[in-house]
Amino acid sequence: MKGNEFAGLGLEEIAEKIESMEIRGAAKIARAAAHALKEEAVKDEGELDERINEAIERLKRTRPTAVSLQNAIRFVTMNKNSDFTVDMIKERVDTFIKKSHSAGEKIAEYGGKRISSGNTILTHCNSSMALKAIKYAWDEGKEIDVIATESRPKKQGYITVREMAEYGIPVTLIVDSAVRYKMTDVDHVYVGADTIASNGAVINKIGTSQVALCAHEARVPVTVCAETYKFSRETAFGDLVEIEERDPEEIVDPDEFPGVKINNPVFDATPADYVDCVVTEEGVISPSESYRVIKEMMKG
Ligand code: RI2
């Protein structure tokens, strides 16, 4: 069990860090949101129900696309909006955080086993879950190497290449537009997910669908590493996943481009047809089984 990643941070600090992406990655923002609820629960001011409901509203406004955050809140509050107790919130938060870490360990193992010695794995953005699987394969003594995209505009690929290099795994950085050119060298694509819809579509960092399209063309399997709390029950009832649009200034200084519209959508949807499998803590599934995972979630 890891130490507390968010020690000393309260609700507002966590919400601001999620918004600014200082705390980022769908798994981490889910754990951070859970931690923030615990911090609110133990405060000795006002009504507990009110504090928790306000905290939930604040957290939900931070980043709209990753359902992991909403599912963390749902897990902690058991889908209620009243009759909370401090002990219940504390216990549920600790359980969620523990489950998140242990899901990561299982995903590492199941995802890592699918990688063979000699494989080149291409990854996009920075997914803690995808990288855990790659590290597991490396720890098993497999000789592998990684190609990582830069992942404009926030360049989370820099985090990935540093993490791989520090771990000793041979890694090559490429610009996003080099993916199709490099795909002939690739044996597997490993990515994470922010949300998985009931039809098996994977919503992940912008550009993931282009990577998957290139992989599909080259018959390279695409593996998505995602915990079950990244499946969206709302999509089973017809809701569409909101794609977060961030500040155009993350791309360029708009003042330098007068008269130009600048769009900064930060996620896209990869259709299930372009995904070979989803590695969850419960096992490796076909994306077409997403609805079954969601149905199971609804029982709990
Ligand atoms: P893990 C990230 O979102 C990336 O899209 C990444 O692939 C996904 O979350 C899953 O990450 P962002 O916060 O949960 O960088 O696997 O926008 O760490």
pLDDT at 1 over 50: no
Tell me what pLDDT residue 79 has.
84
Each residue of 149-200: pLDDT tens digit? 999 999 999 999 999 999 999 999 999 999 999 999 999 999 999 999 999 9
- Residue 166 within any structural domain of the chain: yes
Q: Based on the domain organization, do 99 and 116 belong to the same domain? A: no
**47 part of a folded domain:** yes
Taking the CA of residue 266 as reference, the ligand 1 atom at the shortest distance is 17
Residue that finishes a domain, picked among 82, 106, 130: 106
| Closest by Cα among 100, 127, 123, 84 to 34 | 100
d(CA 141, CA 286): 27
- pTM: predicted TM-score of the whole model, two decimal places: 0.97
* pLDDT tens for each residue of 188-242: 999 999 999 999 999 999 999 999 999 999 999 999 999 999 999 999 999 999 9
Mutate to test the pocket of ligand 1, among 62, 65, 204 (most ligand atoms within 8 A of CB): 204
Q: What is the pLDDT of residues 230-288, one digit of tens each?
A: 999 999 999 999 999 999 999 999 999 999 999 999 999 999 999 999 999 999 999 99
Report residues whose beta carbon is within 6 angstroms of any ligand 1 atom: 21, 24-27, 125, 127-129, 156, 191-194, 204-205, 266
Question: What is the 126 CA–ligand 1 centroid distance (Å)?
Answer: 6
pLDDT of residue 235: 98
In this prediction, residues 144-150 reach a mean pLDDT of 98
Q: What is the CATH number for 284?
A: 3.40.50.10470
Answer whether residue 51 shows pLDDT above 90: yes
Quote the pLDDT of residue 2.
57
Average pLDDT, the chain: 97
Is residue 194 annotated as part of the catalytic site, yes or no? yes
Single-letter code of the amino acid located at 288 = S
Q: Is it the case that residue 29 has pLDDT exceeding 90? A: yes
Residues 157, 191: Cα–Cα separation, whole Å: 12
Cβ-proximal residues to 103 (8 Å cutoff; 6+ apart), any chain:
227, 228, 229, 280, 281
For residue 137, tell me if it sits in a domain. yes
DSSP state of 274: G
Tell me the CA end-to-end span of the chain in Å, nearest whole number: 24
Quote the CA–CA distance of 269 and 110 in Å, as a whole number: 24
How many structural domains are present in the chain?
2
Same domain membership, residue 113 and residue 84: no
Report the separation in Å between the CA atom of 49 and the middle of ligand 1, taken as the mean of its atom positions. Answer: 31
Average pLDDT on 29-47 reads: 96
Are residue 146 and residue 186 in the same domain, yes or no? yes
Residue 16 has pLDDT above 80, yes or no: yes
Q: Which domain holds residue 235?
A: 107-299
Check 139, 176, 194, 277 and give the catalytic one. 194
87 noted as active-site residue = no
User: Residue 34: how many CA atoms within 13 Å on its side-chain side?
Assistant: 30
Whether 300 shows a pLDDT value over 80: the answer reads no
pLDDT at 4 over 50: yes
